[in-house]
Amino acid sequence: MERNSLPVSVWEEPERVDEVLRAVDMRLDGKQAAAWSRKRNRRILNVVMKHAIRRRVLRTNPLSKGKEATTVTKTSNAVDKRSLMNADQAAALLGWIRRRPRGGKRLHAFFATLYYCALRPEEAVAMRLQDVRLPAPDAGDQWCELLIHTATPEVGKQWTDTGEIHEERDLKGRAEGETRTVPGHPALTRILRQHIEDEQLKPGDLLFQGETGGILAGSVIRRAWRSARKAVLPPHVFDSPTGRRVYDNRHTRLTKWLNDGIPPAQVAEWAGNSVPVLLAAYARCVEGQLPDLKRRLEAAGDLPEPADAG
Protein backbone atom coordinates (compact mmCIF):
# COMPACT_ATOMS: atom_id res chain seq x y z
CA MET A 1 0.00 0.00 0.00
CA GLU A 2 2.86 2.37 0.79
CA ARG A 3 4.48 1.77 -2.61
CA ASN A 4 1.23 2.36 -4.49
CA SER A 5 -0.08 5.29 -2.47
CA LEU A 6 0.55 8.89 -3.45
CA PRO A 7 1.69 11.38 -0.80
CA VAL A 8 -0.98 13.53 0.83
CA SER A 9 0.64 16.56 -0.74
CA VAL A 10 -1.05 15.71 -4.06
CA TRP A 11 -4.28 17.07 -2.56
CA GLU A 12 -2.74 20.49 -3.05
CA GLU A 13 -2.71 19.94 -6.83
CA PRO A 14 -6.10 20.88 -8.38
CA GLU A 15 -5.58 18.51 -11.32
CA ARG A 16 -5.16 15.55 -8.97
CA VAL A 17 -8.24 16.54 -6.98
CA ASP A 18 -10.28 16.64 -10.18
CA GLU A 19 -9.00 13.16 -11.11
CA VAL A 20 -10.12 11.76 -7.76
CA LEU A 21 -13.55 13.37 -8.01
CA ARG A 22 -14.02 11.95 -11.50
CA ALA A 23 -12.98 8.51 -10.25
CA VAL A 24 -15.39 8.44 -7.29
CA ASP A 25 -18.23 9.41 -9.65
CA MET A 26 -17.63 6.34 -11.84
CA ARG A 27 -18.39 2.64 -11.42
CA LEU A 28 -15.78 -0.05 -11.99
CA ASP A 29 -17.19 -0.69 -15.47
CA GLY A 30 -16.50 2.95 -16.44
CA LYS A 31 -20.13 4.08 -16.39
CA GLN A 32 -21.33 6.93 -14.20
CA ALA A 33 -22.51 5.89 -10.75
CA ALA A 34 -26.03 6.64 -9.54
CA ALA A 35 -26.68 10.13 -8.17
CA TRP A 36 -27.05 8.87 -4.59
CA SER A 37 -23.76 6.97 -4.86
CA ARG A 38 -21.94 10.04 -6.16
CA LYS A 39 -23.36 12.17 -3.39
CA ARG A 40 -22.46 9.59 -0.74
CA ASN A 41 -18.90 9.15 -2.05
CA ARG A 42 -18.26 12.89 -1.91
CA ARG A 43 -19.69 13.08 1.57
CA ILE A 44 -17.31 10.32 2.68
CA LEU A 45 -14.39 12.15 1.09
CA ASN A 46 -15.28 15.29 3.02
CA VAL A 47 -15.28 13.33 6.28
CA VAL A 48 -11.79 12.05 5.43
CA MET A 49 -10.61 15.58 4.69
CA LYS A 50 -11.95 16.89 8.00
CA HIS A 51 -10.14 14.07 9.79
CA ALA A 52 -6.90 14.95 7.99
CA ILE A 53 -7.26 18.61 9.00
CA ARG A 54 -7.85 17.68 12.63
CA ARG A 55 -4.71 15.54 12.53
CA ARG A 56 -2.83 18.45 10.89
CA VAL A 57 -2.02 16.39 7.83
CA LEU A 58 -3.79 18.96 5.63
CA ARG A 59 -4.26 22.68 6.20
CA THR A 60 -7.50 23.12 4.25
CA ASN A 61 -10.17 20.99 2.61
CA PRO A 62 -9.25 20.78 -1.10
CA LEU A 63 -12.71 19.64 -2.20
CA SER A 64 -15.01 22.11 -3.87
CA LYS A 65 -17.78 23.61 -1.78
CA GLY A 66 -21.18 25.21 -2.30
CA LYS A 67 -23.24 24.89 -5.48
CA GLU A 68 -20.23 23.83 -7.47
CA ALA A 69 -19.96 20.62 -5.43
CA THR A 70 -23.61 19.61 -5.70
CA THR A 71 -24.79 20.55 -9.17
CA VAL A 72 -23.76 17.21 -10.66
CA THR A 73 -25.28 15.13 -7.86
CA LYS A 74 -28.83 16.39 -7.56
CA THR A 75 -31.03 13.69 -6.07
CA SER A 76 -34.69 13.27 -5.29
CA ASN A 77 -36.33 11.48 -2.38
CA ALA A 78 -39.51 10.93 -4.38
CA VAL A 79 -40.49 7.33 -5.06
CA ASP A 80 -40.73 6.34 -8.73
CA LYS A 81 -44.41 5.63 -9.43
CA ARG A 82 -43.37 2.99 -11.93
CA SER A 83 -41.96 0.85 -9.08
CA LEU A 84 -45.37 0.43 -7.45
CA MET A 85 -47.31 -2.82 -7.92
CA ASN A 86 -51.04 -3.15 -8.44
CA ALA A 87 -53.07 -5.66 -6.43
CA ASP A 88 -53.09 -8.32 -9.18
CA GLN A 89 -49.30 -8.17 -9.56
CA ALA A 90 -48.71 -8.38 -5.82
CA ALA A 91 -51.10 -11.32 -5.48
CA ALA A 92 -49.45 -13.17 -8.36
CA LEU A 93 -45.95 -12.63 -6.95
CA LEU A 94 -46.88 -13.74 -3.43
CA GLY A 95 -48.80 -16.72 -4.81
CA TRP A 96 -45.79 -17.89 -6.85
CA ILE A 97 -43.50 -17.56 -3.84
CA ARG A 98 -45.90 -19.61 -1.72
CA ARG A 99 -45.80 -22.44 -4.29
CA ARG A 100 -42.01 -22.35 -4.39
CA PRO A 101 -40.73 -25.89 -3.61
CA ARG A 102 -37.93 -24.79 -1.30
CA GLY A 103 -39.09 -22.75 1.70
CA GLY A 104 -41.97 -21.24 -0.22
CA LYS A 105 -44.49 -21.01 2.64
CA ARG A 106 -41.89 -19.51 4.98
CA LEU A 107 -40.88 -16.89 2.43
CA HIS A 108 -44.50 -16.20 1.57
CA ALA A 109 -45.20 -15.22 5.19
CA PHE A 110 -42.15 -12.94 5.13
CA PHE A 111 -43.09 -11.12 1.91
CA ALA A 112 -46.75 -10.87 2.96
CA THR A 113 -45.59 -9.08 6.13
CA LEU A 114 -43.57 -6.62 4.06
CA TYR A 115 -46.52 -6.03 1.75
CA TYR A 116 -49.31 -5.67 4.32
CA CYS A 117 -47.35 -3.76 7.00
CA ALA A 118 -44.83 -1.78 4.93
CA LEU A 119 -41.89 -3.04 6.96
CA ARG A 120 -38.29 -2.56 5.93
CA PRO A 121 -36.71 -5.98 5.21
CA GLU A 122 -34.13 -5.50 7.99
CA GLU A 123 -36.99 -4.91 10.45
CA ALA A 124 -38.92 -8.01 9.40
CA VAL A 125 -35.95 -10.39 9.70
CA ALA A 126 -35.32 -9.11 13.25
CA MET A 127 -38.83 -9.86 14.50
CA ARG A 128 -39.44 -12.59 17.05
CA LEU A 129 -42.57 -14.53 17.91
CA GLN A 130 -43.40 -12.36 20.92
CA ASP A 131 -43.43 -9.28 18.67
CA VAL A 132 -46.64 -10.51 17.00
CA ARG A 133 -50.01 -9.99 18.69
CA LEU A 134 -52.61 -12.22 17.08
CA PRO A 135 -56.31 -12.02 18.00
CA ALA A 136 -58.18 -15.11 19.14
CA PRO A 137 -59.45 -17.17 16.18
CA ASP A 138 -63.06 -16.48 17.14
CA ALA A 139 -62.59 -12.74 17.83
CA GLY A 140 -64.72 -10.33 15.85
CA ASP A 141 -61.71 -8.11 15.07
CA GLN A 142 -59.11 -10.14 13.19
CA TRP A 143 -56.52 -7.39 12.80
CA CYS A 144 -53.12 -8.29 14.26
CA GLU A 145 -50.39 -5.98 15.57
CA LEU A 146 -46.66 -6.07 15.00
CA LEU A 147 -44.27 -4.49 17.49
CA ILE A 148 -41.18 -3.18 15.66
CA HIS A 149 -38.18 -2.37 17.85
CA THR A 150 -35.02 -3.71 16.20
CA ALA A 151 -33.42 -3.79 12.76
CA THR A 152 -30.71 -6.19 11.62
CA PRO A 153 -29.35 -4.86 8.32
CA GLU A 154 -26.96 -6.99 6.29
CA VAL A 155 -23.66 -5.11 6.40
CA GLY A 156 -21.08 -7.87 5.82
CA LYS A 157 -19.03 -9.75 8.40
CA GLN A 158 -15.91 -7.72 7.63
CA TRP A 159 -17.68 -4.61 8.97
CA THR A 160 -19.19 -5.97 12.21
CA ASP A 161 -17.52 -6.37 15.61
CA THR A 162 -18.97 -9.87 15.99
CA GLY A 163 -17.94 -11.24 12.61
CA GLU A 164 -21.61 -11.85 11.73
CA ILE A 165 -23.12 -10.74 8.44
CA HIS A 166 -25.97 -8.87 10.16
CA GLU A 167 -25.69 -6.14 12.75
CA GLU A 168 -28.38 -5.42 15.34
CA ARG A 169 -29.37 -1.75 15.46
CA ASP A 170 -32.12 0.52 16.67
CA LEU A 171 -34.82 1.55 14.22
CA LYS A 172 -33.74 3.75 11.32
CA GLY A 173 -34.03 7.46 12.04
CA ARG A 174 -35.38 6.84 15.54
CA ALA A 175 -34.07 7.47 19.05
CA GLU A 176 -32.33 4.67 20.90
CA GLY A 177 -34.81 2.13 22.22
CA GLU A 178 -37.79 3.62 20.38
CA THR A 179 -40.49 1.24 19.11
CA ARG A 180 -43.54 1.44 16.89
CA THR A 181 -46.69 -0.64 16.40
CA VAL A 182 -48.09 -1.48 12.96
CA PRO A 183 -51.55 -2.97 12.31
CA GLY A 184 -51.77 -6.09 10.18
CA HIS A 185 -54.66 -6.82 7.83
CA PRO A 186 -56.85 -9.87 8.70
CA ALA A 187 -55.37 -11.59 5.62
CA LEU A 188 -51.94 -11.28 7.22
CA THR A 189 -53.34 -12.57 10.52
CA ARG A 190 -54.38 -15.79 8.77
CA ILE A 191 -51.01 -16.11 7.07
CA LEU A 192 -48.98 -15.55 10.24
CA ARG A 193 -51.18 -17.86 12.34
CA GLN A 194 -50.62 -20.68 9.84
CA HIS A 195 -46.91 -19.83 9.54
CA ILE A 196 -46.38 -20.02 13.32
CA GLU A 197 -48.22 -23.35 13.45
CA ASP A 198 -46.32 -24.83 10.48
CA GLU A 199 -42.91 -23.74 11.81
CA GLN A 200 -43.80 -24.72 15.41
CA LEU A 201 -42.30 -21.49 16.68
CA LYS A 202 -41.71 -20.95 20.39
CA PRO A 203 -41.36 -17.69 22.37
CA GLY A 204 -37.97 -16.19 21.65
CA ASP A 205 -37.71 -17.74 18.18
CA LEU A 206 -37.16 -15.56 15.14
CA LEU A 207 -40.45 -15.14 13.31
CA PHE A 208 -38.79 -15.66 9.92
CA GLN A 209 -35.88 -18.09 9.89
CA GLY A 210 -33.48 -19.46 7.34
CA GLU A 211 -33.33 -23.16 6.53
CA THR A 212 -30.93 -23.82 9.43
CA GLY A 213 -32.90 -21.79 11.96
CA GLY A 214 -30.77 -18.65 11.81
CA ILE A 215 -31.58 -15.24 10.46
CA LEU A 216 -33.12 -15.16 6.99
CA ALA A 217 -30.36 -14.24 4.54
CA GLY A 218 -30.71 -11.27 2.24
CA SER A 219 -29.40 -13.30 -0.69
CA VAL A 220 -32.26 -15.82 -0.26
CA ILE A 221 -34.81 -13.00 -0.05
CA ARG A 222 -33.55 -11.21 -3.15
CA ARG A 223 -33.19 -14.43 -5.18
CA ALA A 224 -36.74 -15.55 -4.36
CA TRP A 225 -38.19 -12.15 -5.25
CA ARG A 226 -36.32 -11.95 -8.54
CA SER A 227 -37.38 -15.48 -9.50
CA ALA A 228 -41.00 -14.62 -8.74
CA ARG A 229 -40.87 -11.48 -10.91
CA LYS A 230 -39.31 -13.41 -13.77
CA ALA A 231 -41.89 -16.21 -13.55
CA VAL A 232 -44.98 -14.05 -13.11
CA LEU A 233 -44.50 -10.73 -14.88
CA PRO A 234 -44.57 -10.28 -18.66
CA PRO A 235 -41.10 -9.55 -20.10
CA HIS A 236 -41.77 -5.85 -20.63
CA VAL A 237 -42.95 -5.49 -17.01
CA PHE A 238 -40.06 -7.58 -15.68
CA ASP A 239 -37.64 -5.20 -17.42
CA SER A 240 -39.44 -2.18 -15.96
CA PRO A 241 -39.02 -0.77 -12.41
CA THR A 242 -42.29 -2.40 -11.28
CA GLY A 243 -41.55 -4.25 -8.04
CA ARG A 244 -37.89 -4.52 -9.00
CA ARG A 245 -36.68 -4.31 -5.42
CA VAL A 246 -37.92 -6.14 -2.34
CA TYR A 247 -38.26 -2.66 -0.80
CA ASP A 248 -40.98 -1.85 -3.36
CA ASN A 249 -43.41 -3.87 -1.21
CA ARG A 250 -43.04 -1.12 1.40
CA HIS A 251 -43.41 1.65 -1.17
CA THR A 252 -46.57 0.04 -2.55
CA ARG A 253 -48.23 -0.29 0.85
CA LEU A 254 -47.38 3.23 2.06
CA THR A 255 -48.74 4.66 -1.17
CA LYS A 256 -51.91 2.61 -0.83
CA TRP A 257 -52.47 3.84 2.73
CA LEU A 258 -52.15 7.44 1.55
CA ASN A 259 -54.42 6.84 -1.45
CA ASP A 260 -56.99 5.22 0.85
CA GLY A 261 -57.20 8.47 2.80
CA ILE A 262 -55.26 7.46 5.92
CA PRO A 263 -53.95 10.73 7.46
CA PRO A 264 -50.25 11.28 6.64
CA ALA A 265 -49.40 11.62 10.34
CA GLN A 266 -50.79 8.14 10.99
CA VAL A 267 -49.07 6.63 7.96
CA ALA A 268 -45.78 8.22 9.05
CA GLU A 269 -46.18 6.69 12.51
CA TRP A 270 -46.77 3.22 11.08
CA ALA A 271 -43.91 3.64 8.59
CA GLY A 272 -41.37 4.92 11.12
CA ASN A 273 -40.85 8.13 9.14
CA SER A 274 -41.44 11.78 9.86
CA VAL A 275 -44.36 13.43 8.05
CA PRO A 276 -42.06 15.68 5.93
CA VAL A 277 -39.99 12.67 4.81
CA LEU A 278 -43.14 10.67 4.04
CA LEU A 279 -44.69 13.42 1.94
CA ALA A 280 -41.42 14.19 0.13
CA ALA A 281 -41.19 10.52 -0.88
CA TYR A 282 -44.81 9.67 -1.69
CA ALA A 283 -46.74 12.87 -2.48
CA ARG A 284 -46.32 12.31 -6.23
CA CYS A 285 -47.79 8.80 -5.88
CA VAL A 286 -51.06 9.92 -4.31
CA GLU A 287 -53.79 9.80 -6.94
CA GLY A 288 -57.46 8.95 -7.43
CA GLN A 289 -58.66 11.53 -4.92
CA LEU A 290 -59.29 14.40 -7.34
CA PRO A 291 -63.00 13.60 -8.02
CA ASP A 292 -63.74 13.53 -4.28
CA LEU A 293 -61.78 16.74 -3.73
CA LYS A 294 -63.70 18.44 -6.54
CA ARG A 295 -67.01 17.41 -4.98
CA ARG A 296 -65.94 18.77 -1.60
CA LEU A 297 -64.80 22.05 -3.12
CA GLU A 298 -67.98 22.34 -5.17
CA ALA A 299 -70.09 21.71 -2.05
CA ALA A 300 -68.66 24.91 -0.60
CA GLY A 301 -70.79 26.70 -3.15
CA ASP A 302 -70.25 29.55 -5.56
CA LEU A 303 -70.12 33.23 -4.68
CA PRO A 304 -73.54 34.71 -3.92
CA GLU A 305 -75.16 36.69 -6.64
CA PRO A 306 -74.48 40.43 -6.14
CA ALA A 307 -77.44 42.62 -5.35
CA ASP A 308 -78.58 44.94 -8.15
CA ALA A 309 -76.81 48.26 -7.83
CA GLY A 310 -79.91 50.15 -8.97
- DSSP per-residue letters across 47-75: HHHHHHHHTTS-SS--S--THHHHGGG--
What mean pLDDT comes out for the span 266-272?
A: 93
What mean pLDDT comes out for the span 167-191?
A: 86
The pLDDT, as a whole number, for residue 156 is 73
The pLDDT, as a whole number, for residue 285 is 81
What mean pLDDT comes out for the span 228-243?
A: 96
Q: Which helix (H) or strand (E) is 184 found in, with range?
A: strand 180-184
Residues forming a β-bridge with 282: none
User: Comparing C-alpha atoms, which of 221, 261, 259 is closest to residue 79?
Assistant: 259
**pLDDT band at 309; cut points 50, 70, 90:** low
Which residues fall within 8 angstroms of residue 207, CB to CB, at 6 or more apart? Answer: 124, 127, 128, 129, 131, 132, 192, 195, 196, 201
Q: DSSP label at 234? A: -
d(CA 243, CA 261): 23
**pLDDT band at 68; cut points 50, 70, 90:** very low
Which residues fall within 8 angstroms of residue 203, CB to CB, at 6 or more apart? Answer: 128, 129, 130
Residue 283 contacts residue 78 (beta carbons within 8 Å): yes
User: Comparing C-alpha atoms, which of 200, 208, 242 is closest to residue 225?
Assistant: 242
**At CA 255, angle to CA 254 and CA 259, rounded to 5?**
120
Give first-to-last CA distance, the chain, whole Å: 95
The yes-or-no verdict on residue 67 having pLDDT over 70 is: no
The pLDDT, as a whole number, for residue 57 is 85
Residue 232 contacts residue 93 (beta carbons within 8 Å): yes
Mean pLDDT in the chain?
87
The yes-or-no verdict on residue 72 having pLDDT over 60 is: no
